[in-house]
Chain A
């Protein structure tokens, strides 16, 4: 386990410069190759996960989950606080692909939006625990603080009409006087 972590950390460091761009690679279809940008996911898993996440939060006039960096959030947590969910992700993403091939004869990533939606519904029915996990992690990544890799440029907070930079109370506070202004 230790050596795998070290490997991914080294890989991570090599790609640090490409960080901001690499995060949207999935969304725009440009991939860094196997074990490229991600700390835990491989590229196939990342593409499938992006398809599932973008059903949970689709794009409209505001970005989709993957466009806002939700994959970076999930990937980062899978080598940190969510290490215990690694197997669930491996198996769940494999299951999503199987459902897709069985029903449409193609990888989930190759499907149209409406077909991807059907696969997401299938996944929710057949593996509720995994779907709930992805659903919660997607919402955390999208609506949580940008510091954890998701919610790029606090786009979801702006969508909700919240102050940017984020609500920290200083709007009401005169720090030089040490009292509410």
Chain B
């Protein structure tokens, strides 16, 4: 096949942006994606088979057949996990990646989120660290993401977020009933509620119409294509340049290197299972935290016997996601109005600044409310089955509110992705093995957050509440997975530099949530996108200066 300038592995949040930025700059690009390209017409609104409720499988990949992972329990025993099982920590495998079916909360991290160690110090046993870049470095690229992807919302009600030059391009969606119940209660508590920023059209934008306000949102493709991901924004732009070729159904096997330690391109299995090579001047890995680490670890050669970029055993460490805790409130009046996307109101009062806690997280009301979600969300004294359970479903389905939030995890280098020594996928490649957990202080923060959610619900009039603050026995990586190819200046303690380039290999970049040093107390998608724009800019500048050509 013809040599190209750049191969991008993974057509998700970051990979789509890379493809667009490089193609617009004139580079020839091949964008490889192992999954399929779905459209709004593939929105099945199937409550048992989607990307969030997976009892009958994932709607947007990977399939359960032939794509296992292995996880170690707290005793160190290995277990197989299928993609539709929680222990797999799945995101998605399709064009758009997670952004096809995400809930589309589009948060900026706060300035403190980029300097956690400077703000708090590091708890003993943690790998809490500062990013090598600041909020100010990223601010213009957050703005670019907000305008190119399309974000609605209004940060005007919160004093806690970093400075910004421009407001969001679209106003927030009108409030739903939960918003009108929770907003005055938060104010009475002295909090600062505001509408959640969303990658969702509230008005016509980018040639597509606004949200239809249905409750089938998080986990589903958008029926009216009003939800904005890479698949309906930057990837079409990339393809329209004529410089980018998207190849779906292609699973990258390894990054190929020469005897001088430079990448030559990649080898990959095409949709028929035949091994192909795509040579290139540079390789960008954007396969999400678990699969990006796995690809580097699977790219072994004489010069890189431990895998690419892994000279100091850093690839795959610091795996993190978010520790979700919160509370459910039960009311003696109807709180449910069937108006989507459901999640509508948030506070970021509790992300930072609590004495004794190394951080915190945003709290917001929960996304969709489908009957299947309610079966294990009934008041604490409800029988798990029988007539009492059925009656409780009737009593509370339309009279309850969930407040929940992504507690920022305190990373640990022991939470990691390695290669399983025996289990292989359907292409014969060693699969990811997940082990370890985040620092236990995370769970202390989560408990405090859950009590805060409960207090908010009580103030709003809840007659019963129950708190959900577990202590998961493995890392909660999932759709918010991050951290496995840490960005830093010290090659012995990180994998890529601030430009997202491997310390070890001049023409290989990792650009996705893998590079997150810490993961904020917010949904990570917009930060992944901002970093993709940030890294694209230096990559293109470097390319134009001739620094990346072989």
Contacts and interface: CB of A to CB of B under 8 A. Distances in A.
Closest 6 CB pairs of A and B: A169-B214, A173-B212, A143-B371, A178-B209, A56-B385, A172-B213
A60 B215 contact: no
B48 A168 contact: no
A38 B513 CA distance: 47
Contacts of B55: 81, 136, 140, 144
Interface of B: 45-49, 55-57, 64, 84, 204, 209-216, 223-224, 338-340, 370-372, 374-375, 384-387, 389-391, 393-394, 397-398
A145 interface: yes
Nearest to B398: A161
A171 B204 CA distance: 19
Contact of B223 (A77, A148, A169, A179): A169
A57 B375 CA distance: 12
Interface stretch (A1-9, A95-103, A152-160): A152-160
B57 A145 contact: no
Interface in A167-181: 167-173, 178-180
B48 A148 contact: yes
B214 A167 contact: yes
Contacts of B57: 81
Contact of A160 (B204, B212, B393): B393
Contact of B394 (A117, A136, A159): A159
A122 to B, nearest CB: 14
A167 B215 contact: yes
A169 B386 contact: no
A163 interface: yes
Interface residues of A, number: 38
A152 B386 CA distance: 19
Contacts of A162: 338, 371, 397
Interface of A: 55-58, 60, 62, 77, 80-81, 117, 120, 135-136, 138-140, 143-145, 147-148, 156-157, 159-163, 167-173, 178-180
A171 B338 contact: yes
27 contacts: A57-B390, A58-B387, A60-B390, A62-B390, A81-B55, A135-B384, A135-B385, A140-B55, A143-B375, A143-B393, A147-B46, A159-B393, A160-B393, A160-B397, A160-B398, A167-B214, A168-B223, A169-B212, A169-B214, A170-B214, A172-B213, A173-B213, A173-B214, A173-B224, A178-B204, A178-B209, A178-B224
B386 A58 contact: yes
A128 to B, nearest CB: 11
A173 B214 CA distance: 9
B387 A139 contact: no
B430 to A, nearest CB: 23
Nearest to A73: B48
Nearest to B397: A160
B210 A179 contact: yes
Contacts of A55: 385-386
Given A140-B55, A170-B212, A157 B371 contact: yes
B371 A180 contact: no
A56 B370 CA distance: 20
A58 B390 contact: yes
A89 to B, nearest CB: 16
A167 B397 contact: no
Contacts of A57: 385, 389-390
A56 B46 CA distance: 24
A144 B372 contact: yes
A154 to B, nearest CB: 10
Given A160-B371, A160-B394, 13 more contacts: A77-B56, A143-B375, A144-B47, A144-B48, A148-B56, A162-B371, A170-B214, A172-B212, A173-B213, A173-B224, A178-B209, A179-B209, A180-B213
B30 to A, nearest CB: 34
Contacts of A138: 385
Q: Name the residue in B84, B340, B370 with the highest tally of chain A Cβ atoms < 10 Å from its Cβ.
A: B370
Contacts of A56: 385-386, 389
Q: Name the residue in A77, A135, A167 with the highest tally of chain B Cβ atoms < 10 Å from its Cβ.
A: A167
B152 to A, nearest CB: 13
A58 to B, nearest CB: 5
Contacts of A172: 212-214, 339
A62 B389 CA distance: 13
A60 B211 CA distance: 39
B45 A81 contact: no
Q: Name the residue in B47, B64, B391 with the highest tally of chain A Cβ atoms < 10 Å from its Cβ.
A: B47
A86 B221 CA distance: 32
A44 B397 CA distance: 35
Contacts of A159: 393-394
Contacts of B210: 178-180
Given A140-B55, A143-B375, A169 B385 contact: no
A58 B393 CA distance: 13
Contacts of A178: 204, 209-210, 224
B395 to A, nearest CB: 10
A180 B223 CA distance: 14
A16 B390 CA distance: 31
Nearest to A161: B398
Contact of B340 (A58, A139, A169): A169
A20 B32 CA distance: 46
